[in-house]
Every structure is written in structure tokens, then in C-alpha cells.
Amino acid sequence: MRLTIRDIQKMKTAGERIAMLTAYDATSAYLSEAAGAPMLLVGDSMGMVIQGHDSTIPVTLDHIIYHSGIVVRATQRALVVGDMPFMTYKANVEQAMGNAARLMQEAGVSAVKLEGGEYIAPTIDRIVQAGIPVMAHIGLTPQSVNQFGGFRVQGKDKDTAEQLMCDAQAVQDAGAFAVVLELVPAPLAQEITKSLKIPTIGIGAGPHCSGQVQVFHDLLGLYPSFGPRHAKQYANVGEVIQTALASYVREVQSGDFPTAENSSSMSEEILAEIRGRWH
């Protein structure tokens, strides 16, 4: 049975840390759920690690719906959250509700994620009132990276720190079941976590959040040209894969692959008939 937002919220109450991973296809979804991750995020980070862009901006709602549907089909227990991409929820509330509904109906996700704090809280409230669970996202919001001037830590001075506290309270009051804190100083993330009833999910926000979320490719070394400080590489799977593929290429070029073990045989009598007809 698939976990619900209540199960995730109970994890915070029980003091159980929440390990969340991104997933974009059947392989990453299956492996992440098998590893025990209770929540999977089909993130617009796919723009960088799957599509090869330098930001999340080019990702469309259709992209998220397509990949989210795959992740949902490949899992049975994990709560699957689908990202709302750039400018799919900020024009007006009606746009946001319509696009969130598409993500739920067409992909089958259990919740959607929106970036923004106080200013997006009324939209979160309307979506939640419509029966769609929402995960909020404050701090460094990647869809606003051009406005921030790059991937920079947020909330280091008094004014921005207080604004993040207000943002966190606003999204909780609007009905968000959890909130992602991205690139927030660890002490501030700790204060936000203490002040909220809902779980905080950190990424580059220190060890005191209710849980953590990391990009699948970063943890496994599958995207070697990008290694953010907040990520930890638990295995260099990319190097293993590259070595294996290079061995395949060499064996094809040398004629060592395929061998008889990789091939099928047939009746010599039938083969003789074929030869007689065509030669």
C-alpha cells in the first residue's frame, strides 16, 4: 500500500528522519523504493541531469507528467511528488489548479510541489482546498535562479532570514503538508524546523531538518560534471558504467563479442536448403 501525506507527517512526530530521493524513470524509481525511500520527487532537476540543460527552466508540465507516470507505475509504496515546472502555477490560481489537477489525473502522483513562500501561499491554499496535497519549497528556489544571480545560499542576513521564517509559516498555514528548505544556513533551518508542525525536507540546509532530499544522479556519481557541495557521492557508479561500456566497445571492435555463448544455432539441414535456394 502506498504511503500517504499523513504517514510522512507521522514520521516527523515520531522523530523518524525522512529520506527522499529524486526519480525520473522506472530504474531510478524501483531502486530508490527498494532502498527504503518513503518519498520520491519527480523533480524539474531532470532538466539538468536528464535533458542536459544548465537549469530547470526548460522543463515543461508535459515532461513532468510523462516521467511522473513512469515513476508511479514502477513503485508500489513510496509517496510520489511531482514538481510543478517554471511558470505553470504563477500566472493565476486557476492556471495553478488546472495544472496541478493534470499532474494528479494524468500521472497519478500523490502530491505536487510548488516553489515560493508568502506570495504563493494563497495559491497553495486553493490547491489544497481542491483536494490536492502540496509540498512547498522555499530558500533557494531553482526556477528563480536568474533572479537570485546563481545558486546562492539564502537567508544569511537578518532581513532574508526573517522572510524565510515568515515564508515557512505562511506555507504551513496555507495547508502544505511539508516544505523543502534549499540552500538555507543550517542554524536557520533548525529554527524553522522547530517552529513548524509539518516536516522540513532539507537540501543544503544542514542536519537538523525533518528529512533530506538528494538528486539520484549526484549520490551515485552519474553526472560527474556537477558536484554540489550539499551532495555526498555514495558510489561512483558512473565510472563503473563507463568502464563496462568501454569494454563492450573494445570487444566488438576486436571481434571478441559476441561469442557462441551469445548466439543461437539452427538446423544444418534447414541451413543447407536456404543456401541452395539463395546461392
Distance spanning both ends of the chain, measured CA to CA: 62
d(C-alpha 186, C-alpha 213), whole Å = 15
Q: What confidence score (pLDDT) does residue 178 get? A: 98
Q: What confidence score (pLDDT) does residue 145 get? A: 61
Q: What confidence score (pLDDT) does residue 150 get? A: 57
Mean pLDDT score, 155-184: 96
- CATH second-level architecture of 5-235? Alpha-Beta Barrel (3.20)
pLDDT (tens digit per residue) in 109-155: 999 999 999 999 999 999 999 999 999 999 988 776 656 555 678 88
Mean pLDDT score, 258-268: 94
pLDDT (tens digit per residue) in 75-90: 999 999 999 999 999 9
Q: Which residues of the chain does CATH 3.20.20.60 include?
A: 5-235
d(C-alpha 260, C-alpha 122), whole Å = 66
Q: Is 33 a catalytic residue?
A: no
Provide the 8-state DSSP code for 116.
B
Question: Which residue of the set 182, 191, 239, 268 is catalytic?
Answer: 182
Q: What confidence score (pLDDT) does residue 279 get? A: 73
d(C-alpha 81, C-alpha 68), whole Å = 8
**pLDDT tops 70 at residue 18:** yes
Phi (first) and psi of residue 215, to 5 degrees: -80, 125
Establish how many alpha carbons lie within 13 A of residue 111's alpha carbon, considering only the half-sphere containing its beta carbon. Answer: 26
Provide the 8-state DSSP code for 38.
S
d(C-alpha 203, C-alpha 213), whole Å = 6
